[in-house]
Amino acid sequence: MMAGFGFSALGDFLLMFSGDDEGYFIAGLVAFLIAHLCYIGGFISQIMQNRPWNFHWGQLAFSTLIVVYGAEFFIINRESFGALMFPVFIYCIAITLMGVTAVMRDRYRNGNGYFRVVIGALFFIISDSLLATAKFITPFEGSGLLILATYFFAQYMIATGCMADSQLELKQRS
């Protein structure tokens, strides 16, 4: 998870300089892609460690909605992505999988940490959707502030949710 936060920070840094330079934007996209892969790895590790095989239908239904949203967002807007269609497609898969793995974690062990991470993952998807909309589809007034607000809230919720999980784990060990 720490590697994911580190790559997210690198992505932030690179996007600050993107402006009209496509190279910085692509590099930022790659950094965020790696961050999402790290988050996915962390969430899958939690799933395998806690083995929450008593999934609730709500988790499966919500995961399905995330997959449908990710697929529809890409399909509806694919022509707008131009030459970056394939990288954006890969990124859409990664962020969708990050959302699904966040939802499929064990919700009974630590409800507070679970819901914080899920809310963070959802706000990360919202932030990236807003970024893609403003960059590729239709720029809109206040997009920068809205993207940053949803992104920082997402990172805060994921971080505090993971900290709550870690604190519970430390308590259980002692």
Q: Which domain holds residue 144?
A: 2-173
pLDDT of residue 109: 81
C-alpha distances (whole Å) from 135 to each of 22, 57, 88 are 11, 36, 12
Rounded Cα distance between 63 and 103, Å, is: 6
102: nearest Cα among 148, 59, 50: 59
113: nearest Cα among 174, 38, 172, 60: 172
**Domains identified in the chain, total number:** 1
CA angle 122, 124, 125 (to 5 degrees): 65
Structure tokens at 169: 């784990």
Task: Give the pLDDT confidence of 22-41 residue by residue, as tens digits.
Answer: 889 889 999 999 999 999 99
Rounded Cα distance between 98 and 92, Å, is: 10
pTM of the full predicted structure? Answer: 0.91
Let me know: does 38 contact 58? Beta carbons within 8 Å: no
Task: Give the pLDDT confidence of 80-133 residue by residue, as tens digits.
Answer: 999 999 999 999 999 999 999 999 998 888 889 999 999 999 999 999 999 999
Let me know: does 168 contact 113? Beta carbons within 8 Å: yes
